[in-house]
Structures are given as C-alpha cells and as structure tokens.
Structure 1
C-alpha cells in the first residue's frame, strides 16, 4: 500500500478513519484479523474498438496474524489472496496467492521475509481508477523471495527490500534491490524511490528512480511525481483532489508517458467518489479518461467498492 500524504488525505477526507479489520480471534496476546476488498465496475476502456464490460478490480481476502511476545516485540504473518484474475477469467494466471510472509516487529522496525511487495511499490501519487497509461516507471514491484525492512520514525518512513535470485529453485527469478523513503508534515510530504533490477536472471542491471511531492492546501490537495526507468520509460503525474459536496471528493489528474522506443502519450482523468455516511467503507464512483494516443476514444466507468 502506498504510504503517502495524498493517500492519507483522501482517507481522512472521505472517512475520517482508516478501514478497520474484522478481528476474528483475540486472546492472550494472539490476534487474527481479516480484511476484505471487493470492487466491481461497469467499464469501457480508452479506445475506439473497446466495448462495455464488467471488471472485477479487487476481489481480496487479507489474513493477518500476530503474537505479542513482550512489550516491544511482535511476531506477525500475512496471507493475502487476490481473486480478480479468476473473476475476470484472465488467461495465463498462475496463482491467486498474492502475498505470504512472516516477520517480527520491534518498536518501530518491522522485518519480513516471503512473497511480498518491493519497497518501490509504495511510490506514486496517481489517483485514477483505470488508465491505459503506466503511472510509474517501476516495471516490477513484487516477488516470491523478498526480504524487507520497514522503519517508521513518525514523520520519516524508510522501506528497504531485496529479492533473491533463488537460482535452480522453483521460484528462480531476477534479483532486485529497492528503496523507498518519505518525510512529511501535516500538510506536506516528499518521497523518493530507487530500484536496481536485473532484466533477466544474471541479465543487465537497470536502474529506476522516482521523486514525488504532495501539499494539502486545506481546500484541495495537490501532488506531482516523476519516475524514470533507465533507457526505457519516463513518467510524470500531476493530480488535484478536492471536496465537491458532503462525503464526495473529486480527483483530476494528468499523466505523461514517454517510452524510449514508442510514441509519447498524454492522458487525463477525472473521477468522483461518494461514501455513505452510515457505512464509511461503502463507496460508489465514476470516472472519465482519454489520451492523445492513436485511435483513442473517451473511456468511462462507474462502480462500487466495499471494504472491511
């Protein structure tokens, strides 16, 4: 999940609190929590040969367990399933298991090992629901053999991760090292990210980096980012979020996507999200988007999301 000021400002503006997990069991320092996320939308993608269809954007069950070993040390684990590819009948999918890792948290530092996101997955400020363009230049941001370290120093957050090659094992893959760091106040945040990744097992190393900034002006939140993958892709985003009515927020954004070996594209989007006052994790939304790519045509979608 992206740990950014813009993400937290949306959550605060729409809900006032973060989504709460359902605590299934809690006794003698043991806790088992279950999160769910279901998002279904009626959608027409950007393009003149696209047609209306139902898209399952999120179909997730997230299981979290923890043991409070003493006043400062916690053992934790997570098993997360994502069924959206199955729901969309996507061919070539390999597994519905999205994350599976164990770790320990000591004071403000958490170390984990297993199948999980890279540190660079935290980067990005785009607030679209569906865009045809890539919104960041980091091509791969999760793996099966990942060691991660998350240090939360209140205003400063640092995340490090590395994926092992795991040569001659079933999970054999390229190697990657990732870094994400953010510093923020109540109204401003600056974030940076870096990735050094092999393009294939023992292949050439490629470097990617990004920088973002967000500012909460009270009446609206403004944010921008820039990311670049060496000799492959440059991307920048700008976005503004503001309230248009009670429990209703609008986002207007723009992304410039410049591949090294393809045509540059510019894409805009505008969406509106409404949450219900009694149940703040029930939302409905709609979005329009378009780009200057060849054969582009207005894309649109509307949907609903339920979380716990």
Structure 2
C-alpha cells in the first residue's frame, strides 16, 4: 500500500486507454475538471489482480492556489486473461458551484499481433467522451498507434478527433525513444498538427 500527500494527480487521472502524445480532444471526461491538486491525499493499493486508488483534495477549505475546489476520486483496474478492465469515479466541486459527478469504464484487449482499447466517460448534465485505439508493432523496436476520440457536450458541441503516431525505442537504451505524431479534429478553425520528439524514462 502506498500513501502519498502533497501536489500530485488525482486517482481518476490513471483512467484512459489513450496512446496519443498530444491530445486532439480531451483525453477523457475527467479532464473536463481538474486532474491534480496541491494538497492531495492519495492511497494506492495492489491486491493480487486488483489495483485500487483513492484520493481526496484537501484544498477544499480554501488554499489560495486551489481557489477552494474539491474533488474525491476512485480508480479500479484488474486483468482477466488478455483483457485489462478499468473503472473510475469522480465527485468534483469548483468553488462557488454545485458538485458534479463523472464516471468512466474502459477495456484493453491484447490480441498478440495488436492491442485494442476503448473507454467511455460521462459527466452529469455536461458531456460524454469516448475513445477507440489500436497499437501494433511493425518491427521489434517500432510501434504504431491509431486512435479516435469524441466529446459530445450537452450544451451542443460535438467534436471528433483522430491521431496516428509511430514510436521507435533504441535497442540498447530501453528507456529512450523517438516519436512522430499527426492529428486533427473537426472543430471550427482547426488544422492538422504534427509533432516529433524524444522521450526518456528513468
């Protein structure tokens, strides 16, 4: 069990099947609210095949940096054979506003030659977001990911985006990779974007 206090992500931030480097539409429904805080208490626990994370933001009582926002979050994941399952819940209250609840469910399937993922999230009286993604190797050191996202707001906006990226991992430096990505969405006044970079994991 891991207990942490301080500036960190909420438990719900672990939810997503996302494989994009830069978002073309919000990553998931929880990103419509805050996904981190300065005074967060978070507990992560692994029970055999079940992972559970719970967090609460203590900035609720008025830390100037938070503006008085509150959040309580839960994330749960497990594996069944080649399936990875996840679920998350958040109750969020911005300062001076009513609280709003959001939840999400997701699944990833490893077919051997490729992985396939989907998730869906819903926020009360606000929006719903879904994502579909697949990733597959084209060489021992190179993987391609393709994805599509949709955000449908009750206020009327309905935005769909897509992305494609390729990642090359250096054979002798497993934590070092280079990537390139292109993506776009159908919102007004937007154009396709292209990204290249290097990533190092320690």
**TM-score, normalization by structure 1:** 0.61
- 169, 190, 198: which one aligns with 2:93: 198
User: Which residue matches 2:8?
Assistant: 116
User: Which residue matches 1:181?
Assistant: 76
| Structure 2, gaps ≥5 residues long | none
| Structure 1, gaps ≥5 residues long | 1-108
Matched residues in 2 for 1:304 and 1:168: separation? 39
Change (3 A) 1:284 1:167: same
- 46, 49, 54: which one aligns with 1:160: 54
Deviation by residue 1:62-115 (Cα, 9 ceiling, x = unmatched): xxxxxxxxxxxxxxxxxxxxxxxxxxxxxxxxxxxxxxxxxxxxxxx2222222
Check whether the contact 1:145–1:171 (CA below 8 A) recurs between aligned residues.
no
Matched residues in 2 for 1:229 and 1:118: separation? 16
User: Which residue matches 1:263?
Assistant: 157
Change (3 A) 1:169 1:290: closer
Check whether the contact 2:144–2:167 (CA below 8 A) recurs between aligned residues.
yes
Change (3 A) 1:230 1:305: same
Matched residues in 1 for 2:62 and 2:184: separation? 45
Matched residues in 1 for 2:160 and 2:53: separation? 31
Matched residues in 1 for 2:163 and 2:200: separation? 23
- 228, 239, 248: which one aligns with 2:133: 239
CA RMSD of aligned residues (A): 1.6
3-state SS, counterpart of residue 120 of structure 1: helix
**TM-score, normalization by structure 2:** 0.92
Is 1:129 aligned to residue 21 of structure 2?
Answer: yes
Deviation of 1:116 (Å) = 1.7
3-state SS, counterpart of residue 270 of structure 1: strand
- Choose 1 or 2 for highest CA Rg: 1
Check whether the contact 1:239–1:253 (CA below 8 A) recurs between aligned residues.
yes
Check whether the contact 2:83–2:109 (CA below 8 A) recurs between aligned residues.
yes
Check whether the contact 2:24–2:162 (CA below 8 A) recurs between aligned residues.
no
Count of matched residue pairs = 199
Deviation of 1:168 (Å) = 4.9
Matched residues in 2 for 1:200 and 1:218: separation? 47
Deviation by residue 1:167-189 (Cα, 9 ceiling, x = unmatched): 35445522211100011145211
Change (3 A) 1:147 1:244: same
